[in-house]
Amino acid sequence: MEKLSGNILDYGAVSIGDFNNDGNIEIALYSFYKNIGDVFCVYGFNSVENELEELCLVPVFINYYNPFPSAEYIGNGFRILEVVDDDPLELTWNNYVWNIERRKYIKQ
């Protein structure tokens, strides 16, 4: 997470900042989803619905034996080492850029 801008919390893979430059703070983090596996997520606050909403969720590769960042902030989005297929393991670096109309990070 060292390549993400914003405030990185001391005891977890979480970063807080205005990643999409809309004036609101988002939360970027790694998590584990039961049916997906390791994922990189970005959440933002939806003031209309008055709740957090998922802006990005991408299955990622995490090398637990020799860790390295699998998500990098690239200005108005993220470069993410995405898991394309689990068996056999297929990975690719994809850019996810903020789309203001859809209010989501969209794969380029």
pLDDT one-digit tens code per residue, 22-66: 888 999 999 988 889 999 999 999 888 888 999 999 999 988 888
- What pLDDT is stored for residue 3 in this prediction? 57
Dump the DSSP string for 32-89. Answer: EETTTEEEEEEEEEETTTTEEEEEEEEEB---SSS---SEEE-SSEEEEEEEEETTTT
For the stretch 52-89, what's the b/e string if a residue is b when 16 or more beta carbons lie within 10 angstroms of its beta carbon? eeebbbbbbbbeeeeeebbbbbeebbbbbbbbeeeeee
Span 90-108, mean pLDDT?
96
Quickly state the pLDDT bin for 9 (edges 50, 70, 90).
Answer: very low
Structure tokens at 42: 């970005």
pLDDT one-digit tens code per residue, 61-79: 988 888 888 999 998 899 9
Distance of alpha carbon 107 from alpha carbon 24, whole angstroms: 21
Cβ contacts of 25 within 8 Å, gap of 6 or more? 16, 17, 18, 44, 45
Model pTM score: 0.84
